[in-house]
Chains A and B, each alone.
Chain A
């Protein structure tokens, strides 16, 4: 077959893909049998009223001071008593969240850190960033002669920056990373090797940088990823060759994804200024969370977290705002909360920089 014929086939196949996607979208719209958009319409029709907060209902209960640069990521231990935070100042800090004391200040070999995570036992922390490596530190190790905590493992293999990492629940031995190389990777930390690569050149996966991952707390074989290709994808760790489902709808980079507490839904936040809630079994987009503003200020959603029941969605935006959404009624019930220390279901939103 000639190149010209192949090109023609490529064009035809692309048209078929686009046409099928449109049919899917139309079909899904037909299945949204509730008023407005899904959840909010259904909830209102069934007499649910919005959560309302008084002026003093959300209060700052802790302020953790110590970083000297922007905080890009933080993570709780499963016991919800310690936090690890990663900052542009080139350090990881481990905090006793109850007392606000620092227990470790780890100087990183590469200052451009983008993500950090606590291991399930709380013994290890992981971080990654522009060095394309995920570094593991054992918090019980002695410091070296310069007083620095040495890396206990380096997970190398990504061909782009490490944007996000999360340990597989109940195991200190496996974690999942997302990367600017368009892939997610499941790592065996003991050997330092990649167990599975999700997406990539020869497989069906994201077609642009992957910015975020979230592992299902109810079924650790499932995780979702969010990407600059404007989609979120659901993966089964046993099947690396293709995503279980691809979720379209966003009109910009999907910067953040987070599983809903019940494990059957997940939330997303995007450069298009919206957060969305998707159902993993049906693929339906259940709700969109967006507030129109009269000014031209750009408001990308950079970070989200759900409260422990899922009733509240906390969203951090690129202009420094943090809004609280009632997930069922899709109403913004508190906005521009600062300073704010959020304790959700084990995860916090990206901390506004003016806390430090």
Chain B
């Protein structure tokens, strides 16, 4: 393995640091500021959209249930699906799964 080659992961770090803030979007040489005004107006419009979405989400939160309702559903969903990687799992033996475990050191899979 050649660890001296640059990792493809690196560009995203640089890009993140280079992400411009709204104030740096203004070009340096614009006597009238016309181009800068348009950029600012677009940024403000974007922020206004975000304000609307956030307000919508706040309103929705009045209607949605508490986390415990979701937790109950999650547990029920997880426990209803047979899982070959669990030491104990519901369901009949599935021969399609067993072909992966042949030659493993033990056969501690138990189906209930």
A: residues with CB less than 8 A from B are: 1, 3, 6-7, 9-10, 13-14, 16-17, 20-21, 23-24, 27-28, 31-34, 38-39, 42-43, 46, 48, 51-54, 56-59, 61-62, 68-70, 72, 88, 98, 112-114, 129-130, 160-161, 163, 180, 202, 204, 207-209, 211, 228, 242, 245-246, 253, 261-262, 264-265, 279, 281-284, 286, 307-312, 327-328, 343-344, 353, 356
Scoring B16, B48, B105 by chain A CB atoms within 10 A of each residue's CB, the highest score goes to B16
A161-B19 contact in complex given A3-B36, A59-B104, A265-B74, C-beta closer than 8 Å: no
A88 to B86 CA separation, bound complex (whole angstroms): 33
**A13 and B87 contact, CB distance less than 8 A:** no
A261 to B53 CA separation, bound complex (whole angstroms): 28
**A161 and B8 contact, CB distance less than 8 A:** yes
Q: Which residues of B contact A61 (CB under 8 A)?
A: 100-101, 103-104
- What DSSP secondary structure best describes chain B's contact surface? helix
A327-B78 contact in complex given A17-B54, A42-B68, C-beta closer than 8 Å: yes
**A286 and B104 contact, CB distance less than 8 A:** no
Interchain nearest-CB distance for B49 vs A (Å): 5
With an 8 A cutoff between CB atoms, is B11 at the interface? yes
**B43 and A284 contact, CB distance less than 8 A:** no
A6 to B34 CA separation, bound complex (whole angstroms): 12
Q: Which residues of B contact A28 (CB under 8 A)?
A: 61
A9-B108 contact in complex given A20-B54, A311-B83, C-beta closer than 8 Å: no
Interchain nearest-CB distance for B89 vs A (Å): 7
**B22 and A10 contact, CB distance less than 8 A:** yes
A-B contact count (CB 8 A): 197
17 A–B contact pairs at CB < 8 A?
A7-B23, A10-B40, A16-B51, A20-B58, A38-B70, A56-B108, A59-B105, A88-B5, A113-B8, A129-B8, A130-B8, A130-B11, A204-B50, A208-B19, A211-B12, A307-B83, A343-B85
**A68 and B1 contact, CB distance less than 8 A:** yes
- What DSSP secondary structure best describes chain A's contact surface? loop
Which range holds the interface residue count of chain B?
Answer: 35 or more
**A253 and B66 contact, CB distance less than 8 A:** no
A53-B83 contact in complex given A42-B71, A242-B49, C-beta closer than 8 Å: no
Task: Considering the complex, give the chain B residue whose CB is closest to the CB of A129.
Answer: B8
- 12 further contact pairs, Cβ within 8 A, besides A16-B51, A57-B108, A88-B8: A3-B36, A38-B71, A39-B75, A43-B75, A69-B2, A88-B1, A98-B100, A161-B11, A207-B19, A261-B77, A307-B86, A309-B82
Contact string against A for B residues 46-73, beta-carbon threshold 8 Å, 1 for contact and 0 otherwise: 1111110111011001001111101111
Q: Which residues of B contact A327 (CB under 8 A)?
A: 78
**A309 and B54 contact, CB distance less than 8 A:** no
